[in-house]
Structure 1
């Protein structure tokens, strides 16, 4: 069975690659193609229980993918260097993100009355982070003002790392209710997971970043090993944190932040790394996601579709509008940024990590269907609407005065290449 998966996935990579340049300006994106490939594979009956979402091979793949994504996204965004452009993403992360979680929890409690409030909260947390990869067509399109592109780029690069500690806490508390673990044990667990994870990330990020920076400056590292060195730093941070009792994902995110700060000129190398090594893993996750969406489709009801719709609209867009209050940004900007909060890789990985620990089969099925419906709808809805809405927003921006906050000149934050996601970078 695994051979069939490898065959279909490899064929999809080759087929998409052969026409990737030709479809750059179309509404077809790589995540769409690989989700469809997975759906077709699963619908054809090529789904074996031993290769399900709970299988160790799948878990390792998605864990490594998240580690690389957290580390490189955090390293790419050098906050001290780009401090002058963080006012909008700061609003999104400090105000919009908590409100999105609250709104998502309320929507889940309403549509799925069988869930406890804690279960509804966990579902909302899983669906809060936006996908930096799916947002690339916006971030890399020069028709969108730099300040707005930076906001979407920084938000999507940081919100998964910010959400993860909360995910760990809620999941631990939820399971403590089931297994009657003492409150003291939970607090000790959380201090170890978050505290040791952060400390490991700081140490490895600073030390590893300093070593690589010195080696690169002296010409000791070839470009290939500069990229591989970043892979090694990400994995060292993750694995070391796990060995001493900390959370490896929190460590990877923290390590990326500090490595990016130490290695001042690392931006382009991080982008190259993410293109070459990281993106293949991301596409594999979307392919696996498509396979197991095929098994979930028979249980899909209107409640899950409705939750997917409100997750991408009301739950996201209203908090964004509230967070922009007093910023003097035009209403069109609020709706534009609000809509382009796609859900993808982080939500898939958080779902799989949750399924590893949840003991309730009913809740596991509910969150699988809710997350599956939301991510699937996001992949296609955001992919299809990207270019038309960019055009409309660019027209609205052109009619704004030169003093509009959207047009403020700021330094552009580096982003990954958008080629693998099927959209061209506008000049």
Structure 2
């Protein structure tokens, strides 16, 4: 149980420090908040000070996976809230180029570089290329938000980076799953499973369900505002609840 308390104290303390000093860090140093969080995790982990060992809480791989999932869900909702209303529909051509052309090219180039430079097996290289291709929304948020970003990056560029980082995390999933299936399943099952389960179920159906949930939540939120049943301070709670619901 002490490991749980250490985890909560570490997360809470880190958020408190970053919340209080985030502006100073961005103004005075080139260090981003995600890097500080990574460094803090290494320091308190079993490799350095041994204050926290996730293995004592259970399956550390599963814990990290679920924690990353929750973090990513909250970050993506934050990205969506940061974008102007109707941004995707007004800038669909830009997003189509970034997601439909640039992202696949990045996947191909990254995979080839890993294959040629590191000499790893082809499908392992393709998998690594797919993993590093998507722009991380957490890291992107630290780049496009704050006073430094507002002074140095034009608003259209900040919005484009935010939108691309939000969309590509889901759209990059087929690129990651395909080499995994090739490496782990019989050849005759790869294409069928990839098309039906990954593309249709997880991407298309998942996006449709998320769109419906978002639409209903937006309509409900506007209704609550008109009726005066919700305080403005509840917006943070609603956003957090929505990010957890769509997981």
Structure-2-length-normalised TM-score: 0.74
Select 2:154's aligned residue among 145, 150, 174: 145
- For 2:48, the equivalent position in structure 1 comes to 44
Q: Does 2:104 align with 1:98?
A: yes
**Once the 2 structures are TM-superposed, how far is the Cα of residue 125 of structure 1 from its aligned partner?**
0.5
Select 1:213's aligned residue among 216, 219, 223: 219
- For 1:14, the equivalent position in structure 2 comes to 16
Equivalent residue of 2:150, what SS?
coil
Unaligned runs of 5+ in 2: none
Q: Is the contact made by 2:114 and 2:128 (CA closer than 8 Å) also made in structure 1?
A: yes
Q: Does 2:169 align with 1:167?
A: no
CA–CA separation in structure 1 for the residues paired with 2:10 and 2:213: 41
Indicate how the Cα distance of structure 1 residues 153 and 18 shifts in structure 2: closer, same or farther if over 3 A, else same.
Answer: closer
Q: Within 5 Å, give how 1:22-37 maps onto structure 2.
A: 22-27=24-29, 28-37=31-40
CA–CA separation in structure 2 for the residues paired with 1:183 and 1:126: 24
Indicate how the Cα distance of structure 1 residues 211 and 96 shifts in structure 2: closer, same or farther if over 3 A, else same.
Answer: closer
Indicate how the Cα distance of structure 1 residues 5 and 118 shifts in structure 2: closer, same or farther if over 3 A, else same.
Answer: same
**Once the 2 structures are TM-superposed, how far is the Cα of residue 103 of structure 1 from its aligned partner?**
1.1
Indicate how the Cα distance of structure 1 residues 25 and 103 shifts in structure 2: closer, same or farther if over 3 A, else same.
Answer: same
Q: Within 5 Å, give how 1:2-401 maps onto structure 2.
A: 2=3, 3-27=5-29, 28-42=31-45, 43-46=47-50, 48=53, 50=55, 54-73=60-79, 77=83, 81-113=87-119, 115-136=120-141, 137-138=143-144, 140-176=149-185, 180=186, 183-184=188-189, 187-188=192-193, 190-197=195-202, 198-206=204-212, 209-210=215-216, 212-217=218-223, 218-219=226-227, 220-223=229-232, 225-238=234-247
- For 1:337, the equivalent position in structure 2 comes to none
Q: Is the contact made by 1:74 and 1:157 (CA closer than 8 Å) also made in structure 2?
A: yes
CA–CA separation in structure 2 for the residues paired with 1:93 and 1:63: 22
Indicate how the Cα distance of structure 1 residues 80 and 11 shifts in structure 2: closer, same or farther if over 3 A, else same.
Answer: closer
CA–CA separation in structure 2 for the residues paired with 1:208 and 1:13: 27
Equivalent residue of 2:28, what SS?
coil
Q: Is the contact made by 1:125 and 1:167 (CA closer than 8 Å) also made in structure 2?
A: yes
CA–CA separation in structure 2 for the residues paired with 1:78 and 1:87: 16
Structure with higher helix content: 2
Q: Is the contact made by 1:77 and 1:157 (CA closer than 8 Å) also made in structure 2?
A: no
Deviating 4+ runs (over 6 angstroms):
none
Structure-1-length-normalised TM-score: 0.46
Equivalent residue of 1:133, what SS?
helix
Q: Is the contact made by 2:111 and 2:126 (CA closer than 8 Å) also made in structure 1?
A: yes
**Once the 2 structures are TM-superposed, how far is the Cα of residue 75 of structure 1 from its aligned partner?**
6.6
What CA deviation, in whole Å up to 9, does each residue of 1:343-401 have, x standing for no partner?
A: xxxxxxxxxxxxxxxxxxxxxxxxxxxxxxxxxxxxxxxxxxxxxxxxxxxxxxxxxxx
Q: Is the contact made by 2:111 and 2:128 (CA closer than 8 Å) also made in structure 1?
A: yes
CA–CA separation in structure 1 for the residues paired with 2:221 and 2:92: 31
Greater RCO structure (CA 8 Å; 6+ sep): 1
**Once the 2 structures are TM-superposed, how far is the Cα of residue 124 of structure 1 from its aligned partner?**
0.4
CA–CA separation in structure 2 for the residues paired with 1:95 and 1:189: 21
Equivalent residue of 1:130, what SS?
coil
